[in-house]
Amino acid sequence: MPDNPKENLVTLKVPAMDCQEEAHLIKKKLSGLKGILHLDTLLLSQEVKVRYDSSLIDLKEILGRIQETGFEATLLETWVPKEADWGRRRQLVLTSLSGLFALAGLALAFKGLPGEITIPIYLIAMLTGGPRIFYKGFLAAKGLSLDMNTLMGIAVIGAAAIGEWGEAATVIALFSLAQLLETYSLDRARNTLSSLMTLTPQEALVRREVASVSGGPPSKKEVTLPVNEVQLGDTLIVRPSEKIPLDGMVVEGYSTVNQAPITGESIPVEKYVGCEVFAGTINREGVLEVRVTHLAKDTTLSRIIHLVEECQAQKAPYQSFVDRFARIYTPIVIGTAFLVATVPWAFLGAEFIPWLYMGLVFLVISCPCALVIATPVSLLSGITCAAQHGVLIKGGVHLEEAGRLEAIAFDKTGTLTKGVPEVIDVIPFDAGVSQYAPTLSHDELLRMAASVEARSEHHLAGAILRRTRKEGLELLEVTDYKTIPGKGATARIQGIDYHIGNLKLFRELGISTAKAERLLSVLQSQGKTVMLIGCGDKLLGTITVADEVRPLSKPTLVALREKGIKKIVMLTGDNKGTAQAIAGKLEVEEYQAELSPEDKVEAVRHLTKNYGRTAMVGDGVNDAPALAAATIGIAMGTAGTDTALETADIALMTDDLTRIPFALGLSRETLGVIKQNIVFAIGVKAVFLGLAAVGKATLWMAVGADMGASLLVIFNGLRLLRYGA
């Protein structure tokens, strides 16, 4: 909650805001007002987020000030998309008429008809395609912020004034067409993002208790409610082939769920009692009953959409550079255009009209639309593509930085390994080791160990119990259970004392382990945790437990090296033997073991110092200090995890490690596209400024080149939406 009770935050929809210059004009109009605390203009979602003090300014005045710039703004929650559709259709009709009349005028002029016939036709072309351009240009000039509309308006009026009616009409028609095409192109990026919002159904089938009319016990009834009316703790009924409307926990039923919209997983995931499910995912087979754990505004999908939208307000390094460049570049070229038009005539005795025409050409070329739009459309396309593949990148800055990574540090447990220990070996000892204890079978040894560990909460005990259940073995009744912290446990079974634990426990009990230690040493060198089982003063056998390597860990590391990562390091708090065994399986060239959280931070800093930009991959919670110390912190398996979603620079919605090389590849592709766009936009300017300097460029050529460049950089940026498809 804000400290000031009169502080409000509103999101306004401005459906006609299609250019960076227009967004800047609105921001300039509002930023100087008393009471405006903060504002962001989000060009690609056509929104303005305003935080204001209601004791100093009200919403009506804010909307009025935006209207003064020539734009209509509406509260986002009350905006109706059909209004924008009508605006698009009207723009399409007027642009079409302008183009038809311009072509008709040019055709008649080509046949030699006089100006008395062609000029009225050109004028109609200007009046159908020009009012929107002239109006926006006038308002921009009034606000002392020259934009493309202002420049085009001046160029068209100037061309008409010197008798170039054909070029004036052609400029209007081409510019209006280019604006229309640019709008539709940007709409594609917007629609890709907004498609995420349509993943969740608007209604949910809810089972609720209904009071009995006769005064008896309440009965349960299934009712269909808007998702915004569903409460925490409500039970949802999700039938086969239906989308899950809200995040929750399965309390009844079994099914498989397609989680691709959230996590990018292509294979449906089993869901049973106790499993989390996410809004927007699709139930495939059985009926699920789900207890709601997040309201509609707080679901994982809602947070993803919100975070992707926020990314638009963050300026990446390339975007900041382009904005600074444009602020210097545009005034310089406008000044040059003025000098070109006036100096030869005023000081060199040259004819005024030809040099005025050349100045007008310079004026049109000067608008940096293609340059300004080149970076944001590429960044949003990259971030949206990543979100569709289960990777949440928290802004253009992180997208750019990920594309420049040189080194990556991985946490071991839960990242490169599954993080859940599993029983690997069950080895009964023979008489030579067990000191005349009866040799037990595999099942007998496992059942004995599980019976002792049944009351333990230790994670190693959990591994033994899971294996026992999997093999269908029944536990024995135990008494006198006792935990020995850091060593193991003891219990009495059928009047006999049994022990399970590490070497320290058995040495303290005075039980000789000499004949078993060679075998135990071999098992430990393989990265396994060894537990001994004994009864009385005898050894019965050993059970080994290990955290298994994820199947995709090794292919992921190979892919990262292919992507150009120079150094990969594994960090772990485990002992050196376990770390060495895991590193060997993964062919990791360097590992560091027995690390504290502070040690991991120091390791990341060392990598950054020696190799440059470094990423840290972890679970987003336990590895938080190291994630924060890295250039890029990558948290994995974060679907439904609030903390990781909020703190990580990049969040993998599932535990699929292959998403990391995908994200790095996408980042590097995005950087490449941005560089291509910037070079192309500046190159087109340079070419046509050169042509204008030698008198070879015309107004309509300048308009076509500039707007063509804008469209090409947009299309180039939109290619990123298909990355990985």
CB atoms within 10 A of CB 588: 19
The pLDDT of residue 568: 95
The pLDDT of residue 435: 46
Give the span between the Cα atoms of 568 and 589, in whole angstroms. 7
DSSP string, 677-688: HHHHHHHHHHHH
Give, as one character, the DSSP assignment of residue 3.
S
Tokens at 601, concatenated: 């931070």
Give the span between the Cα atoms of 470 and 11, in whole angstroms. 54
Considering the entire predicted model, what is its pTM?
0.69
The pLDDT of residue 434: 46
3-state DSSP assignment of residue 353 = helix
CB atoms within 10 A of CB 9: 11
Residues of the chain with pLDDT under 50: 1-2, 432-436
Q: How many residues does the chain have?
A: 725
Give the span between the Cα atoms of 723 and 725, in whole angstroms. 6
From the number of C-beta atoms within 10 Å of its C-beta (0-12, 13-18, 19+), residue 190 rates as middle
CB atoms within 10 A of CB 232: 12
Residue 547 annotated to the active site: no
At 263-288, the pLDDT tens digits run 656 568 888 888 889 888 889 888 99
Report the interhelical angle of 576-586 vs 517-525 (nearest 10°): 50
Give the span between the Cα atoms of 705 and 686, in whole angstroms. 11
* 233 φ/ψ sector (left φ>0, alpha ψ -120 to 50, else beta): left
Give the span between the Cα atoms of 578 and 558, in whole angstroms. 22
The pLDDT of residue 360: 82
Give the span between the Cα atoms of 572 and 326, in whole angstroms. 48
Q: Where are the domains of the chain?
A: 7-79, 203-298, 418-549
Task: Identify the active-site residue in 18, 147, 247, 411.
Answer: 411
402: CB partners within 8 A, 6+ apart? 393, 615, 632, 650, 663, 664, 667
Tokens at 214, concatenated: 């006769």
The pLDDT of residue 330: 65
The pLDDT of residue 433: 47
CATH domain 418-549 topology: Calcium-transporting ATPase, cytoplasmic domain N (3.40.1110)
- Rounded to an integer, what is the distance from CA 293 to the centroid of its chain? 23
Task: Report CA torsion sign: 316, 321, 322, 327.
Answer: positive
> Residue 139 half-sphere exposure, CB side, CA atoms within 13 Å?
19
CA distances from 62 to 58, 145, 390 (A): 7, 19, 38
3-state DSSP assignment of residue 695 = coil
Place of tokens 């620079």: 649
The pLDDT of residue 1: 42
From the number of C-beta atoms within 10 Å of its C-beta (0-12, 13-18, 19+), residue 404 rates as middle
Tokens at 53, concatenated: 């003090």
Tokens at 258, concatenated: 């397609």
The pLDDT of residue 198: 66
At 283-310, the pLDDT tens digits run 988 899 999 998 887 887 777 666 666 6
296: CB partners within 8 A, 6+ apart? 200, 227, 228, 230, 245, 246, 279, 302
CATH of domain 7-79: 3.30.70.100
Task: With beta carbons less than 8 A apart as the criterion, state whether 648 and 633 touch.
Answer: yes
DSSP string, 583-615: HHHHT-SEEE-S--HHHHHHHHHHHHHHHSSEE
3-state DSSP assignment of residue 549 = strand
CATH architecture of 203-298: Distorted Sandwich (2.70)
Give, in degrees to the nearest 5, the angle at Cα 661 between 655 and 662: 85
User: Tell me, what amino acid is at 254?
Assistant: Y
CA distances from 465 to 202, 415, 447, 485, 524 (A): 43, 24, 9, 19, 21
The strands making up 282-283's β-sheet, listed across from edge to edge, are: 269-271, 255-258, 282-283
Give, as one character, the DSSP assignment of residue 79.
-
Tokens at 172, concatenated: 């209007």
3-state DSSP assignment of residue 72 = coil
